[in-house]
Amino acid sequence: MTIMPFFGAIAGVIKGIGSALLGVVSVGGGFLEEFFGRFFGLPGLFLDLIGIRPKKKLRLRFLILANQFGPLVPPANLQETFKLTKRIYDEQADIKVIQSDTSIAYGAPEGALEVTTPIMNNIGHFGEVGAYFHGLSGLGFFTRRLSVIIVNTIDGNQGRAYWAAGNFVIIEKRFFDDPKDTTTLVAHEIGHACGLILHRDKKENLMYRNHKRGEKLDRWQSSIVRGSKFVWYI
Ligand SMILES: [Zn+2]
């Protein structure tokens, strides 16, 4: 006979409510920010489309999750892909991609290391895993950086982005197993996060669905990315 399970259950409920609230603030705030950003960005979009497009900046933060054996990949293994991502956005969108920092995140819940896509697609934003990712990538309006979180596996996907709903994208670790590895997947998921919601049918486009994709963005696509809440003049 003990009252501990009772307190345990209460703590569980409080934690659940906390996660749900964090999800509501993050997702709701993210969409509000996106909406106002796009609205006040309309004059900029017009100038952009007619070719007046000064260089803008996108700050990326790499977060490598760790399991009981340590970080899923060594930070150095991300460098070639970072260079490729930087070159693509420089050439295709006049955006200078800056690596703000690379950190290792210890103590990730199981569901963050092994992401089940159906969960992260919708209701998961309001649960433990969503709360973990939102907390890790940083809450708040006027977020000036996008986090690229390296996880172990994503069920049914290689990478995921959530457009305005999160300040992060997630990518499977297998693309960084070797220091020489390089993938367009990071640039592709950044595209989704920055407003390119739909895939393109042309293979040479960066937003082509599978890994045989090219690096190209058309004028409209690059203008959408430049108008994203993650891309700034300063
Ligand atoms: Zn995609």
What separation in Å is there between the alpha carbon of 197 and the centre of ligand 1? 8
At 61, is the secondary structure helix, strand, or coil?
strand
What separation in Å is there between the alpha carbon of 74 and the centre of ligand 1? 25
User: What is residue 156's DSSP assignment?
Assistant: T
What separation in Å is there between the alpha carbon of 92 and the centre of ligand 1? 17
What separation in Å is there between the alpha carbon of 155 and the centre of ligand 1? 15
pLDDT digits (tens, 9 = 90+) for 73-83: 999 999 999 99
pLDDT digits (tens, 9 = 90+) for 86-98: 999 999 999 999 9
What separation in Å is there between the alpha carbon of 69 and the centre of ligand 1? 30
User: What is residue 54's DSSP assignment?
Assistant: -
pLDDT digits (tens, 9 = 90+) for 133-154: 988 988 756 667 899 999 999 9
Tokens matching residue 32: 């509000």
How far from 119 is each of 34, 101, 122, 130, CA to CA, in Å?
23, 28, 6, 9
The mean predicted confidence, pLDDT, of the chain is 90
Counting Cβ atoms within 10 Å, is residue 116 exposed (0-12), middle (13-18) or buried (19+)?
middle
Which CATH number does the domain housing residue 197 bear?
Answer: 3.40.390.10
Distance separating alpha carbons of residues 81 and 64, to the nearest angstrom: 14
What separation in Å is there between the alpha carbon of 117 and the centre of ligand 1? 13
pLDDT for 1 beyond 60: no
Number of domains in the chain: 1
What separation in Å is there between the alpha carbon of 151 and the centre of ligand 1? 17
What separation in Å is there between the alpha carbon of 17 and the centre of ligand 1? 31
What separation in Å is there between the alpha carbon of 205 and the centre of ligand 1? 11
pLDDT for 121 beyond 80: no
The H or E element containing residue 155 is strand 153-155
- What are the residue ranges of helices labelled H in the chain? 4-40, 42-49, 79-93, 110-113, 117-121, 128-137, 185-193, 219-226
pLDDT digits (tens, 9 = 90+) for 35-46: 888 999 999 899
What separation in Å is there between the alpha carbon of 38 and the centre of ligand 1? 21
What separation in Å is there between the alpha carbon of 84 and the centre of ligand 1? 17
- For 185, the domain range is 4-232
What separation in Å is there between the alpha carbon of 199 and the centre of ligand 1? 6
Q: Residue with structure tokens 């963005």?
A: 217
Query: What pLDDT sits at residue 118?
Result: 65
Distance separating alpha carbons of residues 67 and 106, to the nearest angstrom: 7
* Interstrand relation of 168-172 and 146-151 (parallel, antiparallel or unpaired): parallel
What separation in Å is there between the alpha carbon of 5 and the centre of ligand 1? 44
What separation in Å is there between the alpha carbon of 225 and the centre of ligand 1? 14
pLDDT digits (tens, 9 = 90+) for 159-199: 999 888 889 999 999 999 999 999 999 999 999 999 999 99
What separation in Å is there between the alpha carbon of 188 and the centre of ligand 1? 6
What separation in Å is there between the alpha carbon of 121 and the centre of ligand 1? 13
**What predicted TM-score, i.e. pTM, was given to this entire model?**
0.91
How far from 194 is each of 70, 188, 224, CA to CA, in Å?
31, 10, 7
Average pLDDT value for residue range 55-76? 96
Tokens matching residue 10: 């209460």
Distance separating alpha carbons of residues 45 and 144, to the nearest angstrom: 19
Distance separating alpha carbons of residues 22 and 223, to the nearest angstrom: 31
Query: What pLDDT sits at residue 183?
Result: 96
Distance separating alpha carbons of residues 164 and 230, to the nearest angstrom: 10
What separation in Å is there between the alpha carbon of 16 and the centre of ligand 1? 30
